[in-house]
Amino acid sequence: MEKKRASWSGQLAFVLAAAASAIGLGNLWRFPYLAAQYGGGMFILVYLCLVVTFGFTLMLTEIAIGRKTQQSQLTAYSKLHGAWGFIGLLGTVIPVLITPYYCVIGGWVLYYLKAYALMAFTGAAPMGEAAVNSGAFFSGFISAPFAPFGYGMLFILACAGVILLGVKNGIEKSNLVMMPVLFLMAVAISLYVVFMPGAGDGLKYYLVPNMDCLRDSAGSFSLALLAKTILGAMGQMFYSLSLAMGIMITYGSYMRKEDSIEKCVRRIEIFDTLIAVIAGLMIIPVVYLFAVKTGTPVKEAMNAGPGLMFITLPKVFASLGAFGPWIGLMFFLLVTFAAATSAISLFEACVASVCDVLHIERKSATFFTTALILFLASFSALGYGAWGDVKLFGMQFLDFFDFITNSALMPIVAAATCVFVGYVLTPQSVIDEVECSGRPMKSKGLYVVMVKYVAPVLVVALLVSEICRALGIGGWKI
């Protein structure tokens, strides 16, 4: 007798879980940087347009596939059409490679959370006065012989504990606690920043559309720069909405037939975009003020990636005086929750695949997956220290895993999914699954056009641009 698949307790639980997977580190350090680089409000406008069209199409497709097959991504595609099962295999490689290095970064966040707790409660200054040594503090930690793996291991084991408890008792209940707390902390920090003296210029820099990002050196409108803005927003959307990672297929497989997929997707989009915009409100005005105060070029201060969160922001917090350590503590607690909710979702996509393909219980699958993730995490954790001299195609382990998954595999899986649904499975099959809840699908026309014609072209363009960016071809950079 086939075992009944786990399910969410209701529509709200699914929306919270899916939104929790989407709200992660990418929202907190990548969205503010890209918004600052690509014209503030202009980038936000382009991003919103993509989310409600392109993002809607891919997310709805993945959730519908999951609910229709009642399988994780590894086995869902082969259940629909045997010849297209390779998409599920590629789609499973993505969370298997992302989860370990993502948890390593989660360990970095834990280390900073501990540091700010000491600063707030004891007055310690591990980064020096005014955090002048924040760069040395960060590089010293990630290059340490064991500490990065130790903190990463703590993060992995905490996520594994949640997964072990199951869909309702673990993932669902943890999100019911972490998501409201995360949202309230984000709002509190953003309000504090918005009402700081002089924050108005930073808000203007962030929210008011700046057309200069679309003009070349001669001041003329540039299609190439518009394309860069669109591709930058599209790449962020993949990070932000957890697309092509297997998460939405897995979470969709736990969804009840009576729940509206279309309505849930729209709510997830709203929640995720709101947090992304709030992340910008937390970070951009205060970094802008810091840049002006110290004479640092704003774009340099908004530097992408870990540098913004682990080097620049500590200096910003230090400039806030006595409140700085407490703001830093609250911020890194927020980041811990954001990283944990996303990591749990990635972890679950891996565990569900093991359960579906090996037909074993969740407990055994979780132990197996945890051991695999700990092994793979060791490469990224020690890649800046003990194994710092070992590089793959000129990249550190963490950077290589990030390139393979985000720049290559995710666009490939998304493009293959669009072709599969658009021309093999047919869009009507997805529409039928959406409408089996008894509610008509309102965006049928948009969905068919996007999945058959627009989305495949956009994803291929993103794939080419990401590879060019990562390999430095033609000076392309996003």
Within 8 A by CB and 6+ apart from 438, the residues are: 258
Helices (H), 24-146: 25, 31-37, 41-50, 56-69, 73-80, 85-122, 134-142
**What is the C-alpha to C-alpha distance for residues 285 and 282, in angstroms, rounded to an integer?**
7
What tokens does 115 get?
């540091």
As beta bridge partners, residue 392 has 395
Amino acid at residue number 302: M
Fold exhibited by the domain 11-473: Amino acid/polyamine transporter I (1.20.1740)
The pLDDT tens digits for 192-212 are: 999 999 899 999 988 888 777
Looking at per-residue confidence, does 469 or 96 come out higher? 96
CA dihedral sign, ordered 355, 358, 363, 366: negative
**What is the C-alpha to C-alpha distance for residues 354 and 363, in angstroms, rounded to an integer?**
11
CB atoms within 10 A of CB 114: 14
Please give the C-alpha separations between residue 184 and each of 29, 111, 180, 275, in angstroms, as whole numbers.
Answer: 19, 23, 6, 11
Q: Where are the chain's structural domains?
A: 11-473
Model pLDDT, residue 1:
40
The pLDDT tens digits for 36-53 are: 878 788 899 999 999 999
Model pLDDT, residue 90:
95
Grade residue 249 by pLDDT with cuts at 50, 70 and 90.
very high
**What is the C-alpha to C-alpha distance for residues 402 and 424, in angstroms, rounded to an integer?**
31
Model pLDDT, residue 475:
56
Q: Name the pTM for this structure.
A: 0.92
Model pLDDT, residue 474:
65
Q: How many CA atoms lie within 13 A of 176 on its CB side?
A: 14
Amino acid at residue number 396: Q
**Neighbour-count burial of 59, counting CB atoms closer than 10 A to its CB (0-12 exposed, 13-18 middle, 19+ buried):** buried
**What is the C-alpha to C-alpha distance for residues 338 and 108, in angstroms, rounded to an integer?**
13
Q: In whole numbers, what is the pLDDT of the chain averaged over residues? A: 90
Above 60 in pLDDT, residue 393?
Answer: yes
Q: Are 380 and 100 in contact (CB under 8 A)?
A: yes
Looking at per-residue confidence, does 410 or 301 come out higher? 410
